[in-house]
Amino acid sequence: MVYEPKKVREGVYEIPKQGGMRVPGKIFASQRLLSAIQGDPCIQQVVNVATLPGIMGFSIAMPDIHWGYGFPIGGVAAMDVQHGVISPGGVGYDINCGVRLSVARLTQDELVPRLEVLAGELFSAIPAGLGSSKAIEKLSGPRLKELVCKGARFAIEEGFGEAEDLTFCEEGGALRGADPECVSQRAYERGASQVGTLGSGNHFLEVGVVEAPFQPGLAKAFGIEQNQVYLLIHSGSRGFGHQVCEDFIKVMDTSSKKYGISLPDRQLCCAPILSEEGQHYLGAMAAAANFAWANRQVMLALSRKAFARAFGVSQEALGIRLVYDVSHNIARVEEHTFNGQKKRVCVHRKGATRSFPKGHPLVPEAYAHIGQPVIVPGDMGRYSYVLVGTELALTETFGSSAHGAGRLLSRHSALKKAKGRSIVQELKQKGILVMARDARTIAEEMSEAYKDVEDVVEALEIAGLAMKVVRLRPLLVLKG
């Protein structure tokens, strides 16, 4: 069936409730972005998610929407805790994949002469690529169980970073409710040697410069200055989170039948949130989320050391400070006002990030007076953005925003488009140095494989889900 989203207002389109849909679908996009996904299965996925028990308000899609497992990537669904379901497909395989933005006491003029040296130091310090491992000593089972309970704090206690870093992470770098006993032995085996590693695919480490702020006052409040050097790390829970998802898809496939949940797509397999299976998944998912926060914390610490070696100064002199760490593949129980009443809801955000306004209780104290930083990375040849959360996002999307540019081409299509070209040389001509363990990854991740992040951010602003603060321009990108 072909669904034609109807324009509700500028930047907002709705799919009316029909068939088995319990709520309408809502897509936040410009006409240009919407046209790019016409006929794409991700629109059908928005409709499918709308059929899930306990879904509240709308089945929501962000401007970077594209096809994913069960839920679309860029999908948001809030479930009533009492009557709703939890679905691994609404979180994804890379649990708590997210981005961590830091800034340094360096300018572009200081960075450029040392760029190749820095690239070498970072490439040496942080393992990247499929199955990458051994950034730090392999962790034993008991130590891994401690890590998945403590998250980023575990890394700091091991000497990777400072306690102050925790104040600039969502959830303080650890999601409550992690249950290490709900995680399989296979997940522990896969994660044991992968803490502090970048991984493959769209994961990256990016160094660049801050361009002129759109909102100088807000940029200053975030501690971001024009021409300042930034570091952006995009990675998640690696093989540990992948295994947790794989394990629970099997569990939920059985649970869907057990609880008589009718699904339009088997990939939406789920269980009631308050069921034993639902609670076990949430415990294991929180453990994987904490693995990811520890992973990014270690990579930040390794990056600080690499910068210090490249510039021949102390880490203190460089002052690499964490601005914020956000997750964009996660489900969390939050309190939201719905139809005038406060309710506890489980918000699935898959390829979507929080967008909370000033004064929200879940915004860190340092940013309480301005709102949460919303980090939207682009592709390796264009830009990334820092935005700030809004009040409207709370009412329209349960406090959610886009997480990135969003794929436009499959990896296979990108490889075909890159055939006969040197993407590395093309980027070098733009002043961007790119290094990767596998040349194929660079082709798969070429700029044309993604929507223009500028279009995505513009759609967010028009819809009122976030407000632009500053644009970031890459000079160095490391891939798997």
Question: How many angstroms from the chain centroid is the CA of residue 313?
Answer: 32
Contact 322, 168 (CB under 8 A): yes
Q: How far apart are the C-alpha atoms of 296 and 152, rounded to whole Å?
A: 8
Strand partners, 389: 466
Q: How many CB atoms lie within 10 A of CB 110?
A: 13
How many helices (DSSP H) and strands (DSSP E) are in the chain? 16, 19
Q: Within 10 A of 226 (CB to CB), how many other CB atoms are there?
A: 13
**Using only C-alpha atoms, what is the Rg of the chain?**
21
How far is 394 from 377, CA to CA, in rounded Å? 22
Q: Check the CA dihedral 82-88-333-18 and report its sign.
A: negative
State the DSSP H helix or E strand holding residue 420, giving kind and residue range, or none if neither: none
Task: Supply the DSSP symbol for 266.
Answer: G
Does the annotation count 83 as an active-site position? Answer: no
Let me know how long the chain is.
Answer: 480
Residue recorded with tokens 């306690």: 163
Distance, in Å, from the CA atom of 54 to the CA atom of 13, rounded to the nearest integer, reads 22
Q: Where are the beta strands (DSSP E) in 339-383?
A: 341-350, 352-354, 373-376
* 3-state secondary structure at position 470: strand
Structure tokens at 157: 């206690």
DSSP-derived pairing of the beta strands 98-107 and 352-354? unpaired
Q: Can you spell out the DSSP letters for 284-351? A: HHHHHHHHHHHHHHHHHHHHHHHHHHHHTS-HHHHT-EEEEEEESEEEEEEEEEETTEEEEEEEEEES
Q: Which residue in 5, 95, 98 sits closest to 50, CA to CA?
A: 5
| C-alpha angle 250-331-342 in degrees, rounded to nearest 5 | 130
Indicate which residue of 83, 328, 403, 412 is catalytic.
Answer: 403
Contacts for 31 with CB less than 8 Å, ≥ 6 apart: none
Buried b or exposed e, range 126-153, using 16+ CB within 10 angstroms: bbbbeebbebbeebeeeebbebbbbbbb
Whether the CB-CB separation of 370 and 323 falls below 8 Å is answered with no
Catalytic residues: 403
